[in-house]
Amino acid sequence: MVKKPGLFAERLAAAQEYSCCWGRYAHRFAASGDLNPAQPYDLYTRTAATSNAEIAKICPKGPETSSVSFSDIGALHLGIDGRYVLNPSQNPDFESLTPLMWVQARQPKRLIIQIGHNNGLYTIGADADPERLNVLQDNHNGDTFFDSFQTIANAVAELPDTVELILVVLLPRIGTVANLRPSNNGRINGYAEYYSPVFSTSKTALPGTKMAQVDQQIADTNARSSKCFRKRLRQPAESIG
Tens-place pLDDT, residues 58-97? 999 888 888 889 888 889 999 999 998 999 999 999 999 9
User: Do the beta carbons of residue 239 and residue 166 sit within 8 Å?
Assistant: yes
- pLDDT reported for residue 13: 65
Rounded-to-integer distance, Cα 221 and Cα 79, Å: 28
Q: Rank 5-14, 54-63, 67-76, 149-158 by mean pLDDT and report only the highest.
A: 149-158
- pLDDT reported for residue 235: 62
Tell me the backbone φ, ψ of residue 166, rounded to 5 degrees: -120, 115
Average pLDDT, the chain: 85
Quick check: 45 pLDDT over 90?
yes
Which pairing describes strands 180-182 and 165-169: parallel, antiparallel, or unpaired? unpaired
Quick check: 28 pLDDT over 90?
no
- pLDDT reported for residue 33: 66
124: nearest Cα among 230, 189, 215: 215
pTM: 0.81
pLDDT by residue (tens digit) across 230-241? Answer: 888 866 554 444
pLDDT by residue (tens digit) across 83-135? Answer: 989 999 999 999 999 999 999 999 999 999 999 999 999 999 999 988 889 99
- pLDDT reported for residue 148: 97
Quick check: 30 pLDDT over 70?
no
Which residue type does 176 have? T
Which residue type does 88 have? P
Q: How many CB atoms lie within 10 A of CB 154?
A: 14
- pLDDT reported for residue 240: 45
